[in-house]
Structure 1
Amino acid sequence: MPMGLGTSAYPWGMGDSPAVSILLPVRDAGAWLGQCRASLERQRVADHEIVAVNDGSTDGSAELLDAWARADRRVRVLSPGRVGLVAALNLGLAACQAEIVARIDADDVAHPRWLERCLERFGADPAAAVVSCRVRFFPRSRLGRGFVLYERWLNGLVEHGEMERERFVESPLPHPGTLYRRHTVLHMGGYREGEWPEDHELWLRLFEAGVRFAKVPEPLLFQREHGARLTRTDPRYGTRAFLRLKARYLVRGPLAGGRPAVLWGAGPTGRRLASELAGNGALLEAFVDIDPRKIGRRVRDLPVLPPESVPALAADGAVILAAVASRGARRLI
């Protein structure tokens, strides 16, 4: 019998609580909700609940959710009106009964073994508070080369140390597809509203607190790419917002205690990051660039130095930050 059918096979699903709570915010997702529902109904871990938060949908999603709840007692629907994604996530998180919470979006599709494999990873690594998986974006015909490269980079980060090392590049794990311990996230304050991507901010906060991350090296979540995704339409997921967030946590982390920063890259990305870092009180020492036209000049009243200067700068305690947008340039640095 598949693990999770009937009585819970997991230590978290004891008493009246299920093994896992699936947190599902919904905003005008009627076109895709049926596929998401079907994928959750196929989960090999049947000992789960679904906490769906209808964030003021006007496209018929509310009716679909209500019909789902009538057909499946594991489904609970919260209807707070239009409150926004972060508030919807926090309302849903507070309503979850299980210790393990699994995130999915209404336009995504889960592999039948998504919950099973991630719960097994928790069992194999009891110190982990966050467990994610590899993802595959679809439909492939809509993906540009940049998105394909991002998927490859994201799926290449499996071990805790790899995700921690790369956390300032982009979000090192996807939000949909990730499971976490409810008490850990609640203890850290839940999701925070701000001018930044709420998931990446949460991961940075957890890494800062020393929380352990893990990832199942299998594609168990299929994330739909379309023009209406918040990542495409909301400025909180734009380049400037990511730089603002990174600067905030760089100053609290690697640059804490007044360690000076040297930005490798005196182009637009480097200058924007320098502006955000300065706004957060960081001490900026210099730029580094390979462009001979920039070397010897001053940018933001800081010298632009050649790459040969980096060993001495690092030896003096400076933190070298790669701030380049060209594909492959960061790895070359």
Structure 2
Amino acid sequence: MVNFVSMQNPKVSVLIPFKNTEEFLSECISSIIDQTYQNWEVLAVNDGSDDNSCQIMDHYANHDSRITVLQNEGQGIIHALRTAYSKSNGSLITRMDSDDMMTPNKLQLMTTALLKNGLGHVALGKVSYFSKEGVSNGYKSYEKWLNRLSEKGTNFSEIYKECVIPSPCWMVHRSDLDKAKAFTPDQYPEDYDLAFRFYEKQFKCIPSENVLHYWRDYQDRTSRTSEHYAQNYFLDLKMHYFLKLDHDKNRPLVLWGAGKKGKNIAKILVEQGVPFFWLCNNQQKIGKIIYGQHMLSYKHLPQLNRPQVIVTVANKEAQEFIKEHLQGMNMLLAEDYFLFC
């Protein structure tokens, strides 16, 4: 018989890889201890720290039995997440970064959302970047874009643009995480890869109007310094999943844009032998041959039968023109055209 209390008050496993974040750990763990929802466990995995991070985590573990400190069974953040997950017992799973902070109601709101919506859903929250040095325009723009999607739960509609699931601000049912292969793949960036696997399993994002996570930015943050988060990793991941999940071989594939990203995508398509039409609205490039492909005018698009379009143009004004043009042809976002920047 299923325990009714456990159904209404399930244990949440919080997975926290940490490495040399002694300056921020106390704020992070305190924000978890202060949660309004108290049925949680923390699996904190040391990934080779050489500062006082382990001592700080041990101190908290000695004073709160819900906190367990582990040593990474491998090396790197993916192995740390695997280690944490293998030792976890919660029916709901979330990830936390050791340099960030939760709002006091984060676990309560996400748990409530999952219990209300059931399996096949991802609970999200809006995020807020902060930094001693001030938040850059790039991060402000990402925050605004990500929160706009999370408010409506339409995150997956723009999944090829950037990672649409904030790595430290999601929660899912354990069985759903297993269904999506959890932290099994050795694929970086690991948060983006997991988002694609949620998308592949057709999970639905639960809309959220609340800021639930304070995302710290600083120069030594792993996402800024590790080679695993270089742009080529992101682009290779996008193309892998697009060709696997959304590319229809029975429809003509169109690449719109001949800037740096457009050329990189064209190179991938050529190398993999995927046929495509290459369009742009830059008069100086129309008619040129690049990577053996003839650059066509965007006005060629209506001549193609039910094309799929990859949009690689980053300029906001140009992108609005492109979206209006495609919508004028009754093309739908995430079905007929896909934003890659």
Q: Same fold (TM over 0.5)?
A: yes
Counterpart position of 1:319: 308
| Whole-Å separation in 2 of the counterparts to 1:23 and 1:320 | 38
| Whole-Å separation in 2 of the counterparts to 1:160 and 1:212 | 11
Select the residue among 182, 197, 204 that pairs with 1:212: 204
Counterpart position of 2:264: 272
| Whole-Å separation in 2 of the counterparts to 1:124 and 1:233 | 39
| Whole-Å separation in 1 of the counterparts to 2:87 and 2:121 | 19
1:23 aligned counterpart, secondary structure = strand
Counterpart position of 2:37: 45
Counterpart position of 2:56: 64
Residues 229-252 of structure 1, C-alpha deviations (whole Å, 9 max, x = no match): 121112221211111000001101
Equivalent pair of 2:287/2:295 in contact (CA under 8 Å): yes
Equivalent pair of 2:133/2:218 in contact (CA under 8 Å): no
Moved more, 113-122 or 133-142: 133-142
1:76 shift after superposition: 0.7
Equivalent pair of 1:20/1:99 in contact (CA under 8 Å): yes
Matches within 5 A, 1:219-238: 219-238=211-230
Equivalent pair of 1:111/1:222 in contact (CA under 8 Å): yes
Kindly indicate whether residue 21 of structure 2 is the aligned counterpart of residue 29 of structure 1: yes
RMSD: 2.2
The change in CA–CA distance for 1:41 and 1:192 in structure 2 (over 3 A counts) is same
Select the residue among 97, 122, 125 that pairs with 1:133: 125
Equivalent pair of 1:21/1:48 in contact (CA under 8 Å): yes
Q: Which amino acid aligns with 1:301?
A: G
Kindly indicate whether residue 330 of structure 2 is the aligned counterpart of residue 330 of structure 1: no
Equivalent pair of 1:103/1:179 in contact (CA under 8 Å): yes
Q: Which amino acid aligns with 2:313?
A: V
Residues 159-191 of structure 1, C-alpha deviations (whole Å, 9 max, x = no match): 676212101111112010111122222233222
1:217 aligned counterpart, secondary structure = coil
2:15 aligned counterpart, secondary structure = strand
Equivalent pair of 2:114/2:173 in contact (CA under 8 Å): no
1:259 shift after superposition: 4.0
Counterpart position of 1:117: 109
Select the residue among 219, 231, 242 that pairs with 1:239: 231
1:150 shift after superposition: 1.1
| Whole-Å separation in 1 of the counterparts to 2:100 and 2:272 | 36
Equivalent pair of 2:257/2:280 in contact (CA under 8 Å): yes
| Whole-Å separation in 2 of the counterparts to 1:8 and 1:138 | 40
Moved more, 75-84 or 167-176: 75-84
Q: Which amino acid aligns with 1:11?
A: M
Matches within 5 A, 1:169-180: 169-180=161-172
Counterpart position of 1:83: 75
Residues 206-250 of structure 1, C-alpha deviations (whole Å, 9 max, x = no match): 211222222422111000001111211122212111110000011
1:288 aligned counterpart, secondary structure = strand
Residues 135-178 of structure 1, C-alpha deviations (whole Å, 9 max, x = no match): 00002753221221111100000367621210111111201011
| Whole-Å separation in 2 of the counterparts to 1:280 and 1:216 | 39
1:267 shift after superposition: 1.3
1:56 shift after superposition: 1.4
Select the residue among 297, 309, 321 that pairs with 1:306: 297
TM-score, scaled relative to structure 2:
0.87
1:98 aligned counterpart, secondary structure = coil
| Whole-Å separation in 2 of the counterparts to 1:86 and 1:327 | 35
Q: Which amino acid aligns with 1:305?
A: L
| Whole-Å separation in 2 of the counterparts to 1:195 and 1:290 | 35
TM-score, scaled relative to structure 1:
0.89
Kindly indicate whether residue 288 of structure 2 is the aligned counterpart of residue 297 of structure 1: yes
Q: Which amino acid aligns with 2:204?
A: R
Equivalent pair of 2:127/2:213 in contact (CA under 8 Å): yes
1:330 shift after superposition: 3.0
Residues 18-54 of structure 1, C-alpha deviations (whole Å, 9 max, x = no match): 5211111111111100110111111000111111111
Equivalent pair of 2:73/2:83 in contact (CA under 8 Å): no
1:193 shift after superposition: 4.5
Matches within 5 A, 1:162-173: 162-173=154-165
Kindly indicate whether residue 168 of structure 2 is the aligned counterpart of residue 151 of structure 1: no
Counterpart position of 2:7: 11
Moved more, 115-124 or 125-134: 125-134
| Whole-Å separation in 2 of the counterparts to 1:82 and 1:57 | 13
1:320 shift after superposition: 0.5
